[in-house]
Structures are given as C-alpha cells and as structure tokens.
C-alpha cells in the first residue's frame, strides 16, 4: 500500500516492503567424513531451509548412512535435497532432487515422477526458460560473484538474475561467492533465496557462519520511497 508524503512542496509515495526473507540452501562441499558432515548438518539444521547433499566422492552406502544419521537426528526429509541421485532419492523417500547440467534432463524426470520437487542448475536466461518449460520447480543461477569453485570464469552478476525473476515464474536461488555482506544486494533482485557451499561447510565454525547468513536473510527491509 502506498501513501503520499510531501517534502518541500514535492509529493512522493512510500511503500512498506515489510519482511523480505531469503531461504538458505546449504550445499555440502564433499570435504567431510559421513559422521562429521552429519554432525555439522544437525547443528545448523534449525537455521537453514534446505541441505543439498552434493558429496560426489561418497559411495551409495555412505550416502545411505548419512541419510540415516540425519533422520535419527531429526532432520525432516522435506529439507533434504539429493544431487543427481534420483535412484537414492526414490529408495530413501527423499522428495527433492537436483539435476546438474550434465545429469538427467528435467522433462522425463518430471513426466515419470510428477510428485518430486525438481531443481536444476542454469547459467543463462535461456537455460532458465528451458527449465521452467520442462517442469523444474526451481533453479540455481550463477555464479553471481567470484568464487574459488569457478576460478578463471567471469561472474554472472545480478543483471540476468533480475531478468529471470522479472520474466519467469519459477523460484530462483542465487549461487556463487555469496557472503553475508552481499545479501542486501541479493535481496534487490527479489530472488527466493541463496545457495551457499564454502561459506558454510568450509568455515572454521559452520554453526556461527550459518547464524550470520540467517540474521541477514531474515532481517526486515526499510521503507522505500517511490
């Protein structure tokens, strides 16, 4: 709702934006043992919206053990996203699957398993359009800022991210080099959330790191002059 204000004879309108929450998707970095990883996830569970299991080097048995530890620790299955392992998601009753660019295409997975929440990684507006058309529930777009994971590659920045949000309906999560001090800028793109890997799982104190993201992601915005 807008209301008129007068300053020095000039009229402006202001609108209360209210509370803008960014969801936090924590992506594992494949650098911890199963028990270490489970311990970290259990400590940060209450302050993240999803945990994306992306430990490519672990065997299926190790991943099953990890999922069992998380379930025993009280992590709800709805918060767990499995990376590229549709087979494991179906066997273990995990409702969220993330399909990387080199993985299974979205369309046949959507047609065969309409009940699943399917995400995919995109690096352009065109790829985001294709993901929405094929039935993805969300996309990860990036990398937004410089990051050690993408050394030598030019960051995407926010311009195309904003275009995706303006023209498409599917939820978009920003990924790549996102630190707490950049979240105010990320919020201006109206994205649904952020995906963070090294900022959480490579931190000396992951629990403290998540708290910093949590405080910034859930804070109130200011009133905005129009």
Give me the active site residues, please: 143
The values of phi and psi at residue 219, to 5°, are -75, 160
Taking the alpha carbons of 141, 161, 169, 196 in that order, is the dihedral positive or negative?
A: positive
Contact 194, 25 (CB under 8 A): yes
Ranges assigned E (strand) in 8-147? 10-15, 23-27, 50-53, 80-83, 96-99, 117-122, 138-142
Query: 81, 85, 88, 198: which is closest to 140 by C-alpha?
Result: 81
The three-state secondary structure class of 138 is: strand
> Taking the CB of residue 84, how many other CB atoms lie within 10 A of it?
17
């Amino acid at each position: 709702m807008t209301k008129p204000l007068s300053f020095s004879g000039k009229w402006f309108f202001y609108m209360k934006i209210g509370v803008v929450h960014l969801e936090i998707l924590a992506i594992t970095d494949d650098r911890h043992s199963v028990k270490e990883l489970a311990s970290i996830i259990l400590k940060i569970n209450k302050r993240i919206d999803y945990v994306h299991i992306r430990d490519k080097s672990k065997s299926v048995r190790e991943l099953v053990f990890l999922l069992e530890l998380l379930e025993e620790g009280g992590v709800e299955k709805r918060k767990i996203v499995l990376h590229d392992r549709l087979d494991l998601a179906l066997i273990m009753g995990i409702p969220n699957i993330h399909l990387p660019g080199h993985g299974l295409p979205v369309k046949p997975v959507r047609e065969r398993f309409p009940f699943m929440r399917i995400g995919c990684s995109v690096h352009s507006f065109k790829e985001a359009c294709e993901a929405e058309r094929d039935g993805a529930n969300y996309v990860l777009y990036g990398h937004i800022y410089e990051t050690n994971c993408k050394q030598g590659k030019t960051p995407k920045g926010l311009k195309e991210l904003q275009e995706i949000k303006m023209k498409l309906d599917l939820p978009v999560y920003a990924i790549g080099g996102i630190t707490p001090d950049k979240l105010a800028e990320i919020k201006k793109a109206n994205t649904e959330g952020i995906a963070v890997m090294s900022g959480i799982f490579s931190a000396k104190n992951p629990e403290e790191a998540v708290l910093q993201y949590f405080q910034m992601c859930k804070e109130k915005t200011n009133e905005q002059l129009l």
